[in-house]
Amino acid sequence: MKYALIGCGRVAYNHLKAAKENGFEIVAVCDIEPDHIFDLYTRAALTPEEAGAIARYEDWNRLFDCEKPTLVSIALPSGLHAACAKDAVRRGIHVIVEKPIALSLQDADELIALARETGAKVCACHQNRFNLAVQEMRAYLEKGCFGVLSNAAVTVRWSRGRDYYSADDWRGTWAQDGGALMNQSIHGIDLLRWMCGGKLATVYGVTRRQYHPYIEAEDVGAAVLQFENGVIATLEGGVNVCGPDLEEHLTLIGSGGTMKLGGLNASTVEYKYFAQEGEAAKNALHEIAPNLYGNGHVSLFKDMAEAIEEDRDPYVTAQDGRDALETVLAVYLSSKTGRPVSLPLKDVSTLDIAGLFD
């Protein structure tokens, strides 16, 4: 599998590691900052021979045309995801694109349509779906053990200070990022939507910028979500915890079972009780992860390679990425208008929210 990485910043290490562990042929990387490439190689402990065998580019289109990779993964600032993914897909190159898949629904829809036309596969990088705890919850759900779902909740309580935002000028901007819901909470939002049945009816949300006046977007948000199937859910996501990151929880309550995932990124089974099984189990599973991004990239890359080989959809599709994006945009729109928002949404973008906290 000829593979290339576009964007060599913070999360890129997880991509390179996933590519290596899956035995991909890493043909090229792309970044406008040569230092970032060298830092990445150091973090990944590449030997000079390994690093020397990888071509370096500053322009992703040149990379696509010269190297002709089968698969690329995109770890650029969020506002560049859609443009780069579309450039790849137009050439029939398969793509793993970091979350959020885009910052506008129009871009997400264009990407999905292009992929349909060219046959290129697009995977949205919501790697937490592969957390062992999440897989366990999903298995109970698919076996019907939850019975009829009643309600669910996700909480993302993390901590980001001024140093985090000032390190890169795209962070916290409406044009390139969004805030705590679009960046940090979107994995939890993806899990919530996936577990609760996918189709949302209405969203009522409130967002605020409480402690970070130097960013444009929200640093905390909360919402009530109603699904078409009658499930109600709550969402709370923010980066205002005093001290280190606190938790990411996902709770699912059904007539046949209750399950609560926790830890820093929904990587622990904190509680489960299923009527069929009888006894409540506490702390049944605790996955050790090297960082907040978890272990999921390796599994997600493996699945994408198999999807290409088997000519099937990846486990996490572009439509899944669009669903998560739509959910965040619905919270944003509701917060802006002060009213509940009905879904589905079309043609909404983070830029429509610009100025909300000015």
Per-residue binding letters, 77-96, with ligand NAD (x by CB under 6 A): xx-x----------------
Per-residue binding letters, 9-28, with ligand NAD (x by CB under 6 A): xxxx----------------
**Could you give the CA distance from residue 66 to residue 28 in angstroms, rounded to a whole number?**
10
The verdict on 303 binding ligand NAD (CB under 6 A) reads no
The count of other CB atoms within 10 Å of the CB of residue 180 is 28
Q: Which stretch binds ligand NAD (CB under 6 A): 74-82, 219-227, 232-240, 319-327?
A: 74-82
Beta strand residue intervals within 158-267, DSSP E: 200-208, 220-227, 232-238, 247-254, 257-262
The verdict on 75 binding ligand NAD (CB under 6 A) reads yes
The verdict on 123 binding ligand NAD (CB under 6 A) reads no
Which residue's CB is nearer to ligand NAD, number 37 or number 137?
A: 37
- What is residue 314's DSSP assignment? -
The verdict on 293 binding ligand NAD (CB under 6 A) reads yes
Looking at 104, 127, 185, 350, which residue binds ligand NAD (CB under 6 A)?
A: 127
The verdict on 98 binding ligand NAD (CB under 6 A) reads yes
Q: Closest approach of Cβ 167 to ligand NAD, in Å?
A: 8
Per-residue binding letters, 216-255, with ligand NAD (x by CB under 6 A): ----------------------------------------
The verdict on 31 binding ligand NAD (CB under 6 A) reads yes
The verdict on 184 binding ligand NAD (CB under 6 A) reads no
The verdict on 7 binding ligand NAD (CB under 6 A) reads yes
Burial (CB count <10 Å: 0-12, 13-18, 19+), residue 109: middle
Residue by residue, what is the 3-state secondary structure of 258-289? EEEEECCCCCEEEEEEECCCCCCEEEEEECCC
Residue that the structure tokens 């879904």 belong to: 343
Which residues, 6+ apart, have CB-to-CB distance to 75 below 8 Å? 5, 6, 7, 8, 9, 11, 12, 15, 98
Looking at 21, 23, 25, 32, which residue binds ligand NAD (CB under 6 A)?
A: 32
The verdict on 174 binding ligand NAD (CB under 6 A) reads no
Looking at 27, 125, 141, 298, which residue binds ligand NAD (CB under 6 A)?
A: 125
Q: What spatial distance separates the first Cα and last Cα of the chain, rounded to whole Å? A: 48
Burial (CB count <10 Å: 0-12, 13-18, 19+), residue 340: middle
The count of other CB atoms within 10 Å of the CB of residue 143 is 12
Q: Closest approach of Cβ 59 to ligand NAD, in Å?
A: 7
Distances from the Cα of 4 to the Cαs of 75, 161, 199, 341, in angstroms?
Answer: 11, 32, 34, 39
Interface with ligand NAD (CB under 6 A): 7-12, 30-33, 36, 75-78, 80, 98-99, 125, 127, 168, 183, 293
